[in-house]
Structure 1
Amino acid sequence: MLQRIQSVYMFLVVVTNGVLPFWLYLWTDNLGEAVYAQDDMVYSGLFLASAVMAFVTIFLFKNRKRQFVLNRLNLILNLFLLGFFVYRSLILPGEANVSEKGIGMLLPIVSIVFLVLANKAIKKDEDLVKSVDRLR
């Protein structure tokens, strides 16, 4: 059942973490050059791991509990990624040649919002199935 709303949310996480970090810059360095996710292996690895986990989770629609758990793990992964970005933005120099933060640093926040919405929809489906089983 790929037409469910949680599948749409997880697909948006795949796009947000699998495509956008490689198009949008994360920050600019002191020389004014844009730094993308592919320039750092840690960031690109975390973004791609999150995207792959969301893609795999889309096809686990028959096992909602496993889908819910994998979404929570993906949420924790995005929180780590957000923590790395916060740390990186705190150690940027504050001199006259200030490094600029890019829009790509906000991508984990967008992914977290979509994952929370997907988990709410999965929980709603699970509650619906439990209520129908109670009537049998």
Structure 2
Amino acid sequence: MIQRIQTVYLLIALTLTAILFFVNMAELASVTDNYILTFKGVTDITTSETAINSLALTLLITVTTVVILVSIFMFKNRILQIRICGLAIGLLIGISAMIYFVGKTSANELGAELAFKWPIIAPLISLIFIVMAMRAIGKDEALVRSLNRIR
């Protein structure tokens, strides 16, 4: 399983997606308070109180992480693995859109200025690795089919 290059690509994508649970994705600065955007929502830096909950973002990141993990263990069924990777791509696009949407609406609601941090690109880099994994899985499937024709 680990000796296949697509597994390495999927592990990198899994790591990049799981990083979103531990980092601040954006900073919101208003005249009176400073806030950070995490996977839970928008939190006040000084009081550590959650100003705006974002259950949708939490669920989306969790589901995407689980889907990528499941795709790693589907190595015996390559066609299903490709389909699960396609689902993960859609979810990663959703994460990027959700981070942007939650950040913009929170900034408007709190009257704060929004500054995205480097983790905003993690889903996009993860998406690239999943596409690379899909191509490698497709090559494996083509190789197996060509070997079946020879028999």
Shorter-chain-normalised TM-score: which range? 0.7 to 0.9
Q: In structure 2, what is the equivalent of residue 60 of structure 1? A: 74
User: What whole-Å deviation, never above 9, does each CA across 1:72-124 have from its counterpart, x for those lacking one?
Assistant: 0111111111222333455545xx95221122221210111111011011011
Is the partner of 1:67 in helix, strand or coil?
Answer: helix
User: What whole-Å deviation, never above 9, does each CA across 1:7-48 have from its counterpart, x for those lacking one?
Assistant: 111111221112x11222111123323221133322221111
TM-score if structure 2 supplies the norm length? Answer: 0.79
- 2:145 pairs with one of 116, 130, 136: 130
Structure 2 unmatched ranges of 5 or more: 42-53
Radius of gyration: which is bigger?
A: 2
Q: 1:26, 1:101 within 8 Å by CA — same for their partners in 2? A: yes
Q: 2:37, 2:103 within 8 Å by CA — same for their partners in 1? A: no
Please tell me whether residue 26 in structure 1 is matched to residue 13 in structure 2. no
Matching residue's letter, 1:111 = S
Q: 1:41 to 1:88 in 2, by over 3 A?
A: closer
Which stretch of structure 1 is more off in the superposition, 39-48 or 119-128?
39-48
TM-score if structure 1 supplies the norm length? Answer: 0.86
User: What whole-Å deviation, never above 9, does each CA across 1:32-75 have from its counterpart, x for those lacking one?
Assistant: 23221133322221111111111111111110000000000111
Q: In structure 2, what is the equivalent of residue 79 of structure 1? A: 93
- Distance between the aligned counterparts of 1:25 and 1:4, measured in 2? 33
Is the partner of 1:76 in helix, strand or coil?
Answer: helix
Matching residue's letter, 1:109 = L
Count of equivalent residues: 133
Q: Which structure would you say has the larger RCO, counting Cα contacts within 8 Å and 6 or more residues apart?
A: 1
